[in-house]
Amino acid sequence: MISNKEVLLSEELQRITLSITVETTMGKKMQEGDQVSEELVKAYVICIEKLPMECFLSYVKLGKWYAQFSKTAKEYVYRFIEELLYQKLSQTVSRKSCTYTMECSENSETNVEDSFGGNAFNERAPNIFVDQAINLYREGKMSHHSLIGESNTIVSAAFETSANGLLSSLLMLAIHPVVQERLYDEIHLPYLDMVVNETLRLLPPIPIIGRQVVKNTTLSNGLVLPRGLEILISIFDLHRRTDIWGANAHEFNPDNFLPGNLEEKHTHAYIPFSKGIRNCIGWKYALMAIKILLAGLVRNFSFSTSVKLEDLKFTNSLSLKYTNEPAFTIKHRLK
């Protein structure tokens, strides 16, 4: 990954965050150096990218037809999660070699056994998502299909938002070297929170969310939203409103999140993971993952790029995607 030439980071960051997500939500203990396979990452990405259009076409009865384009990817991640759940439930060794399982070192004498064997899951596992889901399944409160479906939802949402937020954070630091060096000097201080929050303001992982109006509502401008109306909320545009964030709302400035600068802002002026009872279930997890990984990367490497903030273009997708993925130059920091 270290190179004097510019390199793309999205796929590597996706592999790292998916590997971490699998361990921390599904209880799959990863050995040092292990990562999920490239094919698994691609399958999850396909499922996430196809979802918005599939939902949209469902309104005109074409959702099932469009779903065929991601059928193979869905089956792939379904089998992966099903295998993890089976191992968690039975704690037995599966010797069948599967391409979607964790990649281990070719020199390991216990390749498959160590990956899915007795040590694959912590003997004294914490009460993480998979433990709670399995308890509901055993109590008959969740079906087999729902168990796999909910597990897939948690894994895909957690890894995608983490990878997306981490890539955007590195990009903002690469574009703003002064901020990057200050963060390096103050890595354990609140400045890390400010940098991540400002990144998520300008580049929210999920730029648009949908909601249904549950009761007739009159907005402050007199506009009436009738009950049952489907609406879209642009988090991307909300976070760049000059009447909220000032004349320089389109610029990257971590000082926006100094305590004194937040006091007069509405509590919903900043909603990178939405708000209310339907907010992102994994927002705390995503924030923690982004901060931990970002701190480790900045402590050991410096990042630069030829990309300018004003030149960034985005595509229409469920999560924030760049029309042209920004490339980075990465160098080891001298200790």
Q: Which domains does the chain have, with CATH numbers?
A: 3-206+242-332 (1.10.630.10)
pLDDT of residue 116: 29
- pTM value? 0.82
pLDDT of residue 34: 62
For the stretch 262-282, pLDDT in tens is: 888 999 999 999 988 888 777
pLDDT of residue 30: 65
Q: According to the annotation, is 280 in a ligand binding site?
A: yes
pLDDT of residue 33: 59
Low-confidence ranges of the chain (pLDDT < 70): 1-3, 30-35, 91-126, 335
pLDDT of residue 115: 30
| Residue among 298, 334, 331 at smallest CA distance from 1 | 331
pLDDT of residue 251: 97
For the stretch 221-233, pLDDT in tens is: 999 999 999 999 9
3-state SS, one letter per residue, for the chain = CCEEEEECCHHHHHHHHHHHHHHHHHCCCCCCCCECCHHHHHHHHHHHHHHHHHHHHHCCCCHHHHHHHHHHHHHHHHHHHHHHHHHHHHCCCCCCCCCCCCECCCCCCCHHHHHHCCCCCCCCCCCCHHHHHHHHHHCCCCCHHHHHHHHHHHHHHHHHHHHHHHHHHHHHHHHCHHHHHHHHHCCCCCHHHHHHHHHHHHCCCCCEEEEECCCCEECCCCCEECCCCEEEEEHHHHCCCHHHHCCCCCCCCHHHHCHHHHCCCCCCCCCCCCCCCCCCCCHHHHHHHHHHHHHHHHHHEEEECCCCHHHCCEECCCCCEECCCCCEEEEECCC
pLDDT of residue 169: 97
pLDDT of residue 103: 40
pLDDT of residue 91: 57
